[in-house]
C-alpha cells in the first residue's frame, strides 16, 4: 500500500491552505544573508533569481514517483537590502508544494504529499536549522 500523508493529518503542519513545517523553528532565526546563502547551498536549496530588495526564497526540487514537489524556505530583510548582499534575514515557516504543468506550484489544502518526501524534508530542514543556528543572531 502506497504511503501518502495529507497535510491536515500531520502534526508538523497546520490547517489552512498551505502545507507548512511548523515544527522546525526556522522562523525564530535571524541570519546574515551571505551566511544563509552558504548554508542553503550546502543543503541543496537554491535562491537563484528569487529575491527582491526585501525578500528571499530558497527552493529545492524533489522529483519522486508521485510527481514533482518543491520545498521552499522564505525570509525577509529586517536590516539592509538583499540586492547589496548586506542584509539580516528573518526566516519564515518552510512550505511544500506540488508542481503542475503548465500552471506551476500549488500549495493548496487539497494537495497530497508522500510520507517519504515529508520525512526527507523534515530531515533536511533539521539540518539547515542546525547549521544556521551557528550564525544566527
For the segment 87-100, the average pLDDT, to the nearest whole number, is 95
pLDDT digits (tens, 9 = 90+) for 42-85: 999 999 887 888 999 999 999 999 999 999 999 999 999 999 99
At 134 the pLDDT is 95
18 band by pLDDT with thresholds 50, 70 and 90: low
16 band by pLDDT with thresholds 50, 70 and 90: very low
CATH topology of domain 4-133: TATA-Binding Protein (3.30.310)
Q: Where are the beta strands (DSSP E) in 13-123?
A: 19-20, 30-32, 55-64, 67-81, 86-91, 95-100, 104-106, 112-114
Cα–Cα dist 111/73, whole Å: 18
Residue (of 95, 93, 76, 70) closest to 33 by Cα position: 76
pTM: 0.84
Helices and strands in the chain: count of H runs, count of E runs? 2, 9
Amino acid at each position: 500500500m502506497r504511503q501518502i500523508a495529507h497535510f491536515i493529518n500531520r502534526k508538523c503542519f497546520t490547517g489552512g491552505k498551505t502545507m507548512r513545517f511548523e515544527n522546525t523553528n526556522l522562523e525564530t532565526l535571524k541570519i546574515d544573508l551571505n551566511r544563509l546563502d552558504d548554508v542553503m547551498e550546502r543543503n541543496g536549496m537554491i535562491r537563484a533569481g528569487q529575491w527582491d530588495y526585501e525578500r528571499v526564497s530558497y527552493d529545492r526540487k524533489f522529483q519522486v514517483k508521485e510527481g514533482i514537489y518543491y520545498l521552499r524556505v522564505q525570509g525577509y530583510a529586517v536590516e539592509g537590502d538583499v540586492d547589496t548582499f548586506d542584509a539580516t534575514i528573518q526566516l519564515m515557516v518552510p512550505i511544500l508544494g506540488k508542481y503542475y504543468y503548465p500552471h506551476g506550484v500549488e500549495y493548496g489544502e487539497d494537495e497530497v504529499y508522500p510520507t517519504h518526501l515529508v520525512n526527507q524534508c523534515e530531515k533536511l530542514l533539521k539540518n539547515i536549522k542546525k547549521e544556521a543556528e551557528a550564525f544566527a543572531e
